[in-house]
């Protein structure tokens, strides 16, 4: 048989609750406060409880039907969805969940009464304050009856008419045990401290000190003494003469005794109470305004922890109780469940999401009109076509987000976190000298080929001197892209060779190291070297004397100059890639020191002087470089350098 409860029956019992079970905390020998009164009067309790309630209530609560182990469908036109969207008259989903969490946090119990039509169809739920609800029956395993108390009567309900949320009590499986009970001694201490501070401020907050009357002053007449005492009390206690100027008699002096704020311990006591209350509810301290040890990074991590570890159990409890006590009362309830939209809080900022999605799909994923809509701009023609830049076509970079940063913003290798499924295997790359020579040969051939093309074009001109610089600038963009690709390819191989040289000695399993982490830095370095080599070629062209018939010989000479520059450029880029690769592996392996080792047959005097110089891994050497060939250094310190680094744990 269906027992129908209407909203009118609930509202008819009264507005003034009659407490159905003891919910008091003794704060002093003569002071008892009910749990709800503590929420209203204790700022620390209110801060923590409202923090929980607001953060859970703001999450969306969606209805789903499980189709298979790997698939589900969102229910938008199901009775459960309608009830959660409008659970009762003038009651929103937010207010329903906020009330639920507040009741549960304060009393470790919460109650929803199911409201139905005369036909028995479930219309919604109405929250009932725990102090109004009494659990009846001798069965300690589950309630036999619920009674809603009020000044105008009682309303008896069967268990099937109530959604009952409760925590754990060691003696009774039907009830919970409020966290406020565990905080009894702390709250009592805070109450006494507050009362003591109030008395202190009431008696001495305005003016605290002593009056001194000279020993040789005439004997005080009782009437005069009483009159002076009254006027002084009126002045210090805030009476009608407050703010005036007291008149001292018979040579009296006032000696002020200042209030010592450190002895009052006001801030410290309040902070301690909030810390203990937050701990009782498992809330990270920075989330409730205690920022003593907070930093940007750990607050961000604690925000993740909040929704995973602090609020996660609350959300699971609410979801499962709704699934157990509410959903079976609805038609078509098979495989139906509810779930809080927690991912909305964990998926990161829009910038982080956009970067991750773009990297995952390998191309831009947002239409122009979709982007304009986010900025409240009207759609444009052609805005529904997805644009894919050339640098992310098949065979190019994985994503536009892989474009390397400017050299000035190059990352340090030390301290990075690399997540890997397994340690990478050492590739078969030969040795450093072979790869450096191969790089030098490749760059020299490429350089000569570019000049040969320019010479061929210039030689085909029938008469006059060609505009060499104009021709050069026409092909600059294509040359830069091709040149950067060539340099980055060899640089990546050289960096891996150098890294494995360090790993073999200090970290054979390559734990915490991934060669792909080096790619953005190496791509940026390759772009810098390509630009510098391109500038060297243009400068050699600009030196060609275009007067008379000798320009062809001058052009050939310019090509030879640029080819010589290619040799130096390859050596410089190789040394930089070697230094960076070894430095990256050293940082991932936890090494602490780096040592400069001078190389080559005729090293610079400055490099020879610092041979054996040792600094910490994050520092720079005396010449201002992080490693040999460091692109942040001047050309006089890096060009053609053949030095290297050694590393040590201490």
- Residue range 147-190, pLDDT digits in tens: 998 777 889 999 999 999 999 988 888 888 888 887 777 776 76
For β-strands 145-150 and 153-157, DSSP reports them as antiparallel
Q: What pLDDT score does 549 carry?
A: 56
Average pLDDT over residues 440-454: 86
Q: What pLDDT score does 275 carry?
A: 80
Give CA–CA dist 172/138, Å, rounded: 11
Q: What pLDDT score does 393 carry?
A: 45
- Residue range 76-111, pLDDT digits in tens: 889 999 999 888 878 999 999 999 999 999 899 999
Provide the b/e sequence for 60-80 (b: ≥16 CB within 10 Å).
ebbbbbeeeeeeeeebeebbb
Average pLDDT over residues 119-143: 88
Given a cut of 70, whether residue 598 has pLDDT beyond it is yes
Residue 75 CB-half CA count within 13 A: 23
Confidence band of 547 (pLDDT split at 50, 70, 90): low
Q: What pLDDT score does 1 carry?
A: 39
Average pLDDT over residues 8-34: 56
Answer whether 0.75 is exceeded by the pTM: no
Average pLDDT over residues 50-73: 89
Provide the greatest CA pair distance for the chain: 129
DSSP 406: P
DSSP 2: P
Confidence band of 20 (pLDDT split at 50, 70, 90): very low
| Average pLDDT of the residues of the chain | 77
Provide the b/e sequence for 433-442 (b: ≥16 CB within 10 Å).
eebbebbbeb
**pLDDT higher at 308 or 52:** 52
Confidence band of 422 (pLDDT split at 50, 70, 90): very low
Average pLDDT over residues 452-479: 72
- Residue range 201-260, pLDDT digits in tens: 565 545 567 778 887 888 888 888 888 888 777 766 654 444 556 677 777 887 766 555
């Amino acid at each position: 048989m269906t027992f129908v409860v209407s909203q009118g029956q609930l509202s008819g019992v009264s507005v003034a609750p009659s407490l159905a079970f003891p919910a008091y905390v003794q704060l002093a020998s003569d002071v008892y406060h009910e749990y709800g009164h503590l929420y209203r009067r204790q700022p620390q309790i209110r801060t923590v409880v409202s923090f929980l309630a607001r953060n859970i209530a703001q999450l969306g609560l969606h209805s789903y039907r499980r189709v298979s182990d790997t698939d589900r469908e969102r229910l938008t036109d199901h009775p459960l969805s309608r009830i959660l969207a409008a659970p009762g008259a003038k009651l929103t989903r937010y207010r329903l969940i906020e009330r639920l969490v507040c009741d549960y946090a304060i009393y470790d119990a919460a109650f929803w009464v199911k409201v139905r039509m005369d036909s028995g169809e479930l219309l919604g739920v109405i929250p009932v304050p725990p102090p109004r609800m009494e659990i009846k029956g001798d069965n300690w395993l589950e309630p036999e009856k619920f009674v809603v108390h009020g000044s105008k009567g009682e309303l008896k309900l069967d268990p099937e008419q109530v959604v009952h949320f409760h925590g754990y009590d060691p003696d009774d499986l039907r009830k919970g045990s409020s966290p406020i009970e565990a905080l009894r001694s702390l709250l009592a201490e805070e109450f006494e401290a507050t009362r003591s501070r109030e008395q202190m401020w009431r008696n001495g907050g305005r003016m605290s000190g002593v009056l001194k009357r000279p020993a040789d002053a005439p004997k005080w007449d009782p009437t005069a003494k009483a009159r002076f005492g009254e006027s002084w009390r009126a002045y210090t206690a805030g009476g009608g003469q407050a703010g005036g100027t007291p008149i001292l008699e018979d040579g009296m002096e006032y000696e002020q005794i200042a209030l010592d704020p450190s002895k009052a311990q006001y801030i410290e006591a309040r902070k301690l109470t909030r810390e203990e209350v937050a701990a009782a509810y498992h809330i990270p301290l920075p989330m409730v305004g205690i920022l003593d040890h907070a930093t940007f990074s750990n607050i961000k991590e604690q925000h993740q922890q909040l929704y995973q570890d602090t609020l996660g159990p609350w959300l699971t409890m609410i979801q499962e109780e709704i699934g157990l006590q509410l959903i079976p009362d609805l038609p078509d309830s098979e495989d139906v469940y509810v779930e809080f939209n927690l991912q909305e809080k964990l998926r990161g900022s829009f910038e982080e999401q956009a970067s991750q999605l773009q990297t995952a799909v390998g191309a831009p994923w947002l239409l122009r009109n979709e982007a304009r809509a986010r900025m409240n701009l009207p759609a444009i023609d052609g805005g529904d076509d997805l644009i894919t830049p050339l640098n992310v076509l098949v065979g190019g970079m994985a994503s536009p987000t892989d474009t390397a940063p400017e050299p000035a913003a190059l990352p340090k290798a030390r301290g990075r976190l690399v997540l890997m499924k397994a340690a990478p295997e050492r590739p078969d790359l030969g040795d450093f000298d072979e790869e450096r020579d191969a790089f030098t040969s490749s760059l020299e051939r490429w350089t000569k080929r570019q000049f040969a093309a320019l010479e061929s074009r210039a030689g085909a001109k029938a008469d006059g001197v060609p505009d060499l610089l104009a021709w050069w600038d026409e092909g600059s963009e294509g040359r830069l892209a091709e040149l950067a690709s060539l340099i980055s390819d060899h640089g990546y191989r050289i960096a891996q060779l150098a890294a494995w040289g360090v790993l073999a000695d200090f970290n054979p399993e390559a734990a915490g190291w991934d060669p792909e982490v080096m790619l953005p830095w190496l791509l940026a370095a390759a772009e810098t070297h390509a630009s510098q080599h391109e500038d060297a070629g243009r400068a050699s062209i600009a030196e060609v004397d275009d007067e008379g018939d000798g320009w062809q010989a001058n052009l050939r000479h310019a090509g030879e100059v640029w080819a010589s520059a290619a040799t130096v450029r390859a050596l410089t880029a190789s040394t930089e890639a070697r230094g960076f690769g070894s430095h990256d592996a050293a940082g991932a392996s936890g090494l602490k020191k780096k040592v400069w080792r001078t190389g080559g047959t005729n090293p610079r005097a400055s490099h020879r002087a610092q041979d054996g110089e040792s600094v910490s891994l994050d520092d720079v050497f005396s010449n201002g470089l992080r490693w040999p060939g460091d692109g942040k250094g001047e050309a006089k310190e890096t060009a053609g350098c053949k030095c290297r680094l050694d590393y040590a744990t201490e």
